[in-house]
Amino acid sequence: MNRAPRLTPALFVHAERLLLQLLTFDYPADGVLSRYFREHRNLGQNERGFLAELLFSILRHLRSLKARCDGEATQRHLLLAALVMQGYPPRELELVARPAELEWMGQIEGFDAAGLGPAEQLDLPDWLYEKLVAQWGEAEVLPLVQALNRPAPLDLRVNELKSSRKAVLERLQADGIACEAGRFSPMAIRLAEKPALSRYPLFQEGVIEVQDEGSQLLGLLLAPRRGEMVVDFCAGAGGKTLLLGALMRNTGRLYAFDVSEKRLSNLKPRLARSGLSNVHPVRIESERDIKIKRLAGKIDRVLVDAPCSGLGTLRRNPDLKWRQTPEGVAELTVKQASILAAAARLVKPGGRLVYATCSLLQEENEAIVAAFLAASPEFRIVPVARELEALGWQAPGECLQLLPHVQGTDGFFAALLERRQG
C-alpha cells in the first residue's frame, strides 16, 4: 500500500492550481490531471495519487463543501474544507493554512448539514436530483447517489485467449496484490486497492485489461460466436472491442467503428498486447458513412455503446454531474436515436443488436429503445433474463440495468434487440 505523501505548502500549491483548472469544467477532469502531471514530471507517484484523490473528492462533494464554506468557496477554502472533512492531521494542516484560517477550519468541522436541501446533501445539481427522484423515487435515490459519490473499485478482465481467471488470481495474490473474483462476469477480477499496472507483466503481456465488470456484461449479453461478422459501432478506445474479439476466439471479422482517429489510435497498442488478429479498426465520418452502408444487412451482431451523459459513471467521473445540463442531455438523445437507427440497418435477419449506455436516465435508455421499436417493427426485444441465466444471474425485467449500490458496478443500461427472420 502506498503511503500518503506529507502535506507541504508546495503540494498544496499544486492542488490549488489544479482545482482552479478543474472548476472551469471546460475539459474532463481526468484529462486535466493527465496533462498537468505530464507538465510536472517532478511529482512522484504518491503525490499524484494524493492530488487526484483529493481533487476528485472535492468534485464529488462540491455542493455540500461550498455550503460549508458559506460564501467563501475559494480554491483554498474548498481544499482546506475537504482536508478537514477527510480527517487530515491538524499538525499537517497547520503547515498549509494561514493563521486566520485555523479558526474558520474549526467551524467547518462543526457544520450541521441537516439544514441543507436534499440535492445539496447528495451533492447533485437540482435538475439531476429532480430527474432521478422522478424516475427512481426518493428512497432509492439516496443509496444510489451515496454509491455514486464513492470512488469506484478497480476491475480487471482476464484475456481468456492467454490465461484463465483462476491462474491470474493466483498470480496476483502471489505478487501481493489483494483481489477476488467478480460477482457476475466469469472474466472479472476486482482489486482491493489501485496499484499502478502499466508496468505489471500481466498487463504488458495482454493477459489482463482494466474494465469495469458492468462493461464486461455488455459484451457477454451480445454473445458473439466464432466465425461471425460483428460490429462495435462506437468502439472508442476499444475495451469492449477486445472483449468481443476474445469471445469470438479470434475468429470471424470484428469491425471497430469510431469517429475519432485518436481513440482508434489508442486501441492499437491494446490490440497488439491482446493477440487478436480479427479486429479491423475503421474511422467513420458519422453514423451515415458509406463504409457503414456497404455492410447493411450483413452483420450477425452489433454493439451500440452510445455516446451518452455518462451519469452512471460518476464514481469515476464526478465532474460530469456539473458539466452536463438538461439541454445537453436532450441533444444527446437525438444523436442516440440516429446512431441506433443507423446501426440497426447493419443487422441481418436473425441477427442481434445490443443498445447500451452508461447513463441512469430513462430518456437516454428505455425511451430511445421504445421509440426505435415503434418505428422498426422488424425488430423485437429479447428479455435479458433468459440470456444472462447462463452466468448464474437472475436479471429482472426486459432490459439490463446495473446500479452501483446493487451490483457494485457502474450504472449501465442495455437492451437486447433481434431482427426478425423473413
Q: Can you say whether residue 86 is alpha, beta or left, with left for phi > 0 and alpha for psi between -120 and 50 degrees?
A: alpha
C-alpha cell at 11: 503540494
C-alpha cell at 49: 495519487
Q: How far apart are the C-alpha atoms of 398 and 380, rounded to whole Å?
A: 11
Q: Determine phi and psi for 352, rounding to 5 degrees.
A: -130, 155
Q: Can you say whether residue 206 is alpha, beta or left, with left for phi > 0 and alpha for psi between -120 and 50 degrees?
A: left
Residue with cell 424516475: 135
Q: How far apart are the C-alpha atoms of 289 and 283, rounded to whole Å?
A: 9
Buried b (16+ CB within 10 A) or exposed e, 366-383: bebbeebeeeeeebebbe
Q: How far apart are the C-alpha atoms of 122 and 284, rounded to whole Å?
A: 40
Q: With beta carbons less than 8 A apart as the criterion, state whether 58 and 319 touch.
A: no
Four-point Cα dihedral 182, 186, 188, 190, nearest 10: 20
Q: With beta carbons less than 8 A apart as the criterion, state whether 371 and 338 touch.
A: no
Cα angle 279-283-284, degrees, rounded to a multiple of 5: 125
How far is residue 229 from each of residues 258, 264, 269, measured CA to CA in Å? 17, 19, 23
Q: With beta carbons less than 8 A apart as the criterion, state whether 203 and 157 touch.
A: no
Q: Determine phi and psi for 4, rounding to 5 degrees.
A: -65, 140
Known catalytic membership, residue 69: no
Q: Where are the beta strands (DSSP E) in 38-153?
A: none
Q: How far apart are the C-alpha atoms of 274 and 113, rounded to whole Å?
A: 49
Strand order in the sheet with 208-210: 179-181, 188-191, 154-158, 208-210
Cα 85 to chain centroid, rounded: 26
Question: Which of 69, 179, 358, 399 is labelled catalytic?
Answer: 358
Residues composing the chain: 422
Q: Where are the beta strands (DSSP E) in 89-133?
A: none
Residues assigned a catalytic role: 358
